[in-house]
Structure 1
Amino acid sequence: MLIDSTPTILVIDDSAAIRRRLIKLLEPLNASFEEAENGQQAWDMITTTRFDVVITDIDMPVMDGIELCRRMRNNEQTRSIPVVVVSSLDSEENIEKGFEVGATYYIAKNDVYTDLFNVVEELLSRTKRNSNHLIMVVDDSPTIRRIVENGLTAAGFKVVTAENGRHALEVLRDTPPDLILSDIDMPVMNGLEFCETIHADPAFSGIPFIVMSAKSDRGHMNRMVQHGAASYVCKPFNMDALVIQIEETLSNHFLLLLKEKERLETERNLVIASISGLISALEARDPYTKGHSEVVGRIVSGMVGLTGAGRQEIQSANVGGRLHDIGKIGVRDSVLLKSGPLTDIELSHIMEHPRKGTEIIKNIPSLRDIIPMVHYHHERMDGNGYPEGLKGSQIPLLARMTAVADTYHALSSDRPYRIATNHDRAMQIIYDAKGTQLCPDCVDLFIKWCEKNPEDAIITSSPSVAPGFGLHLF
């Protein structure tokens, strides 16, 4: 038995001999067969009995196969039933007409011995497989929603639709789908916002998300993938190709990849939690820097978010900001907490913390993407920073952002060797450091972040920087 459950197949032809021949070919499927001698008789049966596959001739009395296909495709209850046309009318015109009205396959009668069994077996397998999956189609165009819904139901999928991201979220909470197929450009909530919202919610983040868009620009689509999309398809698209793409996305292999991704994310979160504990222990040694890493992470991730980056990049920026000073675990308290000037030896010792931080995280695969933030956040635009003395654009962008956030919070916090400055003065010092110590573009981005997030800007009561203060922040 090739099919687990007993499928029901309707065979339609005005010749009883041909009907018997077709049924004989399909007997190994162990299916249940019904027969009809014309389209009208078949239509009466189809509207009262559920069939898994319909096999029909074209040239028949009363109602031909073309009209039967048309009726089936225009009826919500029958449009999902796959139809195989088996006909001696195999001209290009007839074949095209058959597909236009919704035939799934078109087989010439001369080819039934070689093709019919394989075609029907595949349709039954697909229908059984796909009927277990609910697809959500999100598009503001009723026409697109209808076309895609018809195509997916014809492939055996269950389908639910929504007209924009917000509507989709409402439907989603009541009926979680197995896969989401969404347009990008929609009112109320567009596809980007919808995708980000979905993947920020642990309850729905594992749902595969395929993007439909008329924009074929590779950069635009890659950005969508960064927002959490599994893949994309450009409009206008071929329905058969879309069905195949959906089936591949829902395959066991892809689900295994999702599980592996979840495992790696869990591992990453555990590692981050462990290292964050070390950071907290580090900051507990120095009451002046308590909460510093959390603030830097929040600022850098906020800056990255303003660039239009995806959820994953924003999360990585937050992690990198939180762990940027992890190397200070290896700095002696006598140096880290010293209130007076540092000796040359002590200065060299504390300037090793970026290298030490890199050594701590370099062998953790899930943290490799934040190494530049840890290793290069004390480099300067003029090349006078450390540990490598990089200059300008040689410094990784995230490290330049981290330098700005690090500088701001250091200025706004009391340290053993100076008192804090207020927000306005800190902003002026940062602005004056554009092009020498700090990246001008990153400073501008930071200012933009402050304007958008005034409640997150750290304002202290100290009126100015302590005498003799300079931008030698460790």
Structure 2
Amino acid sequence: MHNPQVLIVDDSKTIRSVICSQLRKHSIDVTEAMDGIQGLNFTRKNHYDLVITDVTMPGIDGYQLCTEIKNNPQTQSTPVIILSSNEKHEHIERGFEVGAAAYITKNKAYKDLFPYIKEVLDRSKLLRDRLVLVVDDSKYIVKVVASGLIAAGFKVITASDGETAYGIAKETTPDLILSDINMPKMDGIKFCEKVQNNPQLSHIPFVIMSSGGDRRTMRELLHKGASAFLVKPFNIDQLVITAEKLLSDHFQIILQQREIFKKERTLLMGSITSLIQALEARDSYTKGHSDTVAKLSVKIAEKLTMPSNDVERIEFAARLHDLGKIGIRDDVLLKNGPLTDEEFSVIKQHPVHGAEILGPIPSMEDIIPAVLHHHEKMNGRGYPHGLTGYEIPLWAKIISVADVYDALTANRPYKKAFTHQTAMEFIDDKKTEELCPDCVKAFQEVMKEYQPKLLN
């Protein structure tokens, strides 16, 4: 591994010697320049990982040197630390305006300089050869963002829509993705979702750039796996700092942990699905019930124009809505006939059992209310808690409608299955009193469109 290359530009030989001595102790190779012009010439002929410059020097000063370095495409990614005797705020401000990575006063150099040097070199090493995919249908935004990132040391590749960007991502596997939301062909939400669902891409930090500040959209994207959200117009320095943070070792560890969490959740869902299958194997009359309820619940949720992430979670909840029946004894669950009041009171505990099974699992927290309350009724005569109207979670109301339909149209030893038409009439009669009217209306629209396909 090559040692870091640092250029020291200062007209004081003493200052140069002191800094050089300190850096060489840390295996850093140092080149000395006695003024700004010599320093500028060195940067044009050689590559440096860092330039440390004084301000007041013969020829050109440190501000102009920094400006020249940042205006040259060959050197614009080279970080510059300004080392000066001047502590005035306006001088420090000017240092950052010309592109300095840090401004250190000489009276604090002994304590602060090397930590800053280490930080800048570590950051430079982190960013070197890192590829960022910038996706926006605005050519101006793409140009500004790409220029800022290149100046900071990143490599950049661009796309104008999510569909093209997804193809590029699969071919190049960028280290970071920056994407707008509203774009042709495929928007940023769908693009983010596709990236997160691809095992080869899901580890890539995904940053959303948007001119809107819709909190619901932000929450939805963060839930889908977006790492950060930048609201336009944003400062390029803010963007670079965000990119550096996302690519830091610490954040990479977090991403690895998230990947492990996702795999564990997949395994967990497999285990729970096995429980559902075991339950349905106990009771042949409920075989496929959870799948049908999940399928109908998804269609109802989509008809209600719910966010795609909510639809996905409703599907989970619907598949697990009867999980608690695994805790119901066979003589009740498998009884070939109507239940007594005592037996029905046992059955009414299955939503509670389901919630208790899911309770210790953090990733299932949002679906527990749907599992717990899918047998509540609008008039308060449901179970287990007798909730009414708006007290009942929407996800539970949706699942309830789907559950009732599938239960009505299933054959049981003690009950002949309803026809589709009879079941639809029954559900229509129960809207407002027992079932959510909005959910019933959405369900009726779904069945008009999908009933033949769903029944098959």
User: TM-score band (shorter)?
Assistant: 0.7 to 0.9
Greater CA drift, 80-89 or 36-45 = 36-45
Q: For residues 93 and 442 of structure 1, what CA distance do their matches in structure 2 show?
A: 63
Q: Is the 8 A contact 2:348 2:383 kept in 1?
A: yes
Q: For residues 457 and 71 of structure 1, what CA distance do their matches in structure 2 show?
A: 68
* AA of the residue aligned to 2:307: A
Counterpart for residue 167 of structure 1: 164
> Residue 458 in 1 paired to residue 448 in 2?
no
Counterpart for residue 175 of structure 2: 178
* AA of the residue aligned to 1:103: A
CA distance 1:337–1:105, shift in 2 (3 Å): closer
Q: Is the 8 A contact 1:412 1:420 kept in 2?
A: yes
Picking from 258, 270, 281, the partner of 1:261 is 258
Q: What pairs up with 1:113-262 in 2 under 5 angstroms?
A: 113=110, 115-131=112-128, 133-262=130-259
**SS of equivalent to 1:369:** coil
Q: For residues 349 and 419 of structure 1, what CA distance do their matches in structure 2 show?
A: 24
What whole-Å deviation, never above 9, does each CA across 1:240-285 have from its counterpart, x for those lacking one? Answer: 4444433333344434433443344333333332332232233234
Counterpart for residue 367 of structure 2: 370
Counterpart for residue 432 of structure 1: 429
Counterpart for residue 104 of structure 1: 101
Greater CA drift, 193-202 or 233-242 = 233-242
Q: Is the 8 A contact 1:195 1:227 kept in 2?
A: yes
Q: For residues 133 and 343 of structure 1, what CA distance do their matches in structure 2 show?
A: 68
Counterpart for residue 418 of structure 1: 416
Q: Is the 8 A contact 1:413 1:421 kept in 2?
A: no
CA distance 1:137–1:28, shift in 2 (3 Å): farther
Percentage of matched positions with identical amino acids: 46
* AA of the residue aligned to 2:430: A
CA distance 1:130–1:353, shift in 2 (3 Å): same
Q: Please state how far the C-alpha of 1:364 moved relative to its aligned partner.
A: 4.1
Picking from 266, 280, 283, the partner of 2:280 is 283
Q: For residues 62 and 196 of structure 2, what CA distance do their matches in structure 1 show?
A: 46
Gap runs ≥5 in structure 2: none
> Residue 6 in 1 paired to residue 3 in 2?
yes
Q: For residues 266 and 10 of structure 1, what CA distance do their matches in structure 2 show?
A: 47
Q: For residues 452 and 134 of structure 2, what CA distance do their matches in structure 1 show?
A: 38
* AA of the residue aligned to 1:434: K
CA distance 1:157–1:450, shift in 2 (3 Å): farther
CA distance 1:49–1:343, shift in 2 (3 Å): same
Picking from 70, 73, 77, the partner of 2:70 is 73
Picking from 352, 377, 380, the partner of 2:377 is 380
Greater CA drift, 111-120 or 76-85 = 111-120
Greater CA drift, 98-107 or 161-170 = 98-107
Q: What pairs up with 1:289-304 in 2 under 5 angstroms?
A: 289-304=286-301
Counterpart for residue 317 of structure 1: 314
* AA of the residue aligned to 1:164: D
Q: Is the 8 A contact 1:54 1:82 kept in 2?
A: yes
Normalised to the residue count of structure 1, the TM-score between the two structures is: 0.82
**SS of equivalent to 1:84:** strand
Q: Please state how far the C-alpha of 1:120 moved relative to its aligned partner.
A: 2.2
CA distance 1:450–1:26, shift in 2 (3 Å): farther
* AA of the residue aligned to 1:173: K
Counterpart for residue 468 of structure 1: none
**SS of equivalent to 1:458:** helix
Q: Please state how far the C-alpha of 1:293 moved relative to its aligned partner.
A: 0.2
**SS of equivalent to 2:378:** coil
Q: What pairs up with 1:315-394 in 2 under 5 angstroms?
A: 315-331=312-328, 335-336=332-333, 340-394=337-391
Q: For residues 87 and 331 of structure 1, what CA distance do their matches in structure 2 show?
A: 77
Greater CA drift, 375-384 or 163-172 = 163-172
What whole-Å deviation, never above 9, does each CA across 1:160-209 have from its counterpart, x for those lacking one? Answer: 33333222212211221233232223333222111111112222222222
Gap runs ≥5 in structure 1: 461-474
CA distance 1:64–1:171, shift in 2 (3 Å): farther
Picking from 30, 33, 36, the partner of 2:30 is 33
* AA of the residue aligned to 1:419: A
**SS of equivalent to 2:367:** helix
What whole-Å deviation, never above 9, does each CA across 1:76-116 have from its counterpart, x for those lacking one? Answer: 33221112234567766665554334232344556555544
Equivalenced residues, count: 454
Q: For residues 15 and 350 of structure 1, what CA distance do their matches in structure 2 show?
A: 87
* AA of the residue aligned to 1:437: E
Picking from 384, 391, 397, the partner of 2:394 is 397
Q: Is the 8 A contact 1:195 1:209 kept in 2?
A: yes
CA distance 1:37–1:456, shift in 2 (3 Å): farther
* RMSD between superposed Cα atoms in Å: 3.4
CA distance 1:164–1:341, shift in 2 (3 Å): same
CA distance 1:12–1:348, shift in 2 (3 Å): closer
**SS of equivalent to 1:380:** coil
Q: For residues 241 and 261 of structure 1, what CA distance do their matches in structure 2 show?
A: 25
